[in-house]
């Protein structure tokens, strides 16, 4: 807890992999971070009525968060005593693949859980989130999670390797509404064989396999939701011997992954290259323990 609130979740940047499982249902491995420039802080205090205050302002985000809180209140038995003012500050920008709605909702639910000292599991919280909207599982940033963002189920696939992600917004003026691109789930089914192999790699407990899967999944996704500068990003990843690339499969962010021991001078060189070639300003995210 700080004077301005508590950071309950650290967010994500795109996905290790997003595809379909053997039944054709969506499967998502969110690329969760342990440190992010977007440090979302949440406060909770008694109030006459339930209200959600978000900064930066987001009407849709507030509505989703309020619905999730009411769902939690109904499921956990305090529907007649859900009178809080919940303030969420510094949420990631929406429509970018940074899990902004999930960050807000998870933060609010965790704030209430701890405020009321509720015995409610992450499984139950994720189910509540997915009842409101398609959601990311963000409760365990140090583990690789395979989740069904619609059905609200998840399983642990492995441990996140320690690394650094240099990521940027490929289309600053654009926003991707997750609910509006559900047709991509159907489009991904034609790559079912690829996803079966990539999902196996994500369960292999082999970091090399993880990064191969993330790169290949990003390549497949670029056929469905192309990103400006994707080819150059692949070239830079090869030229600088990066671990791989990571893409927001329903967003605009793209990134290159490096070992946590990467030389700072190398990162500076890559930043300059990205600024020169793509006119973007990359951000630094830390991943893993």
What crossing angle do the helices spanning 100-116 and 122-132 adopt, rounded to 10°?
Answer: 130
Q: At what angle do helices 192-202 and 207-222 cross, to 10 degrees?
A: 150
Could you tell me the CATH number of the domain that includes residue 221? 3.30.70.890
3-state secondary structure 187-254: HHHHHHHHHHHHHHHHCCCCHHHHHHHHHHHHHHHHCCCCCCCHHHHHHHHHHCCCCEEEECCCCCEE
Mean pLDDT by 10 residues, the chain (289 residues): 76 97 94 96 96 85 94 97 96 94 97 97 97 96 97 97 98 86 90 97 97 98 97 95 97 97 93 93 93
Q: Indicate if 81 and 166 belong to the same structural domain.
A: no
Q: Are residues 124 and 183 in the same domain?
A: no
Q: What is the CATH number of the domain that holds 60?
A: 3.30.230.10
- What is the value of pTM for the model shown? 0.95
**Residue 41 structural domain:** 12-132
In a shared domain, residues 185 and 72: no
Query: How many folded domains does the chain comprise?
Result: 2
Q: Does 162 lie in the same domain as 127?
A: no
Query: Is 35 a domain residue?
Result: yes
121 within domain boundaries: yes
Please tell me the predicted confidence (pLDDT) of residue 16.
Answer: 98
CB 100 within 8 A of CB 94: yes
Give the tokens for residue 190: 């034609």
Domain co-membership, 166 together with 245: yes
Phi-psi region for residue 169, left (φ > 0), alpha (ψ -120 to 50) or beta?
beta
Regarding whether 96 and 169 lie in a shared domain, the answer is: no
Same domain membership, residue 168 and residue 126: no
């Amino acid at each position: 807890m700080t004077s301005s609130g508590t950071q309950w979740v650290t967010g994500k940047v795109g996905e290790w992999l997003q595809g379909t499982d053997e039944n054709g249902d969506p499967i998502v491995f969110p690329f969760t971070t342990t440190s992010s420039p977007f440090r979302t802080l949440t406060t909770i205090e008694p109030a006459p009525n339930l209200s959600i205050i978000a900064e930066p302002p987001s009407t849709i985000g507030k509505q989703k968060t309020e619905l999730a809180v009411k769902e939690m209140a109904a499921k956990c038995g305090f529907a007649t005593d859900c009178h809080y003012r919940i303030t969420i500050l510094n949420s990631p920008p929406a429509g970018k693949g940074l899990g902004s709605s999930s960050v807000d909702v998870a933060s609010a639910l965790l704030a209430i859980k701890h405020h009321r000292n509720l015995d409610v599991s992450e499984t139950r919280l994720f189910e509540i989130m997915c009842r409101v909207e398609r959601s990311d599982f963000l409760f365990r940033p140090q583990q690789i999670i395979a989740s069904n963002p619609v059905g609200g189920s998840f399983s642990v696939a492995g441990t996140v390797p320690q690394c650094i992600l240099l990521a940027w917004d490929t289309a600053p003026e654009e926003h991707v509404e997750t609910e509006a691109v559900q047709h991509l789930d159907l489009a991904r089914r034609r790559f079912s064989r690829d996803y079966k192999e990539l999902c196996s790699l994500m369960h292999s407990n082999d970091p090399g396999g993880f990064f191969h899967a993330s790169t290949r999944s990003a390549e497949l996704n670029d056929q469905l939701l192309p990103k400006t500068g994707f080819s150059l990003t692949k070239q830079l990843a090869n030229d600088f011997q990066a671990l791989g690339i990571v893409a927001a499969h329903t967003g605009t962010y793209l990134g290159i992954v490096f070992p946590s021991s990467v030389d700072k001078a190398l990162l500076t060189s890559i930043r300059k290259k990205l600024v020169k070639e793509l006119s973007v300003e990359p951000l630094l995210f830390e991943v893993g323990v």
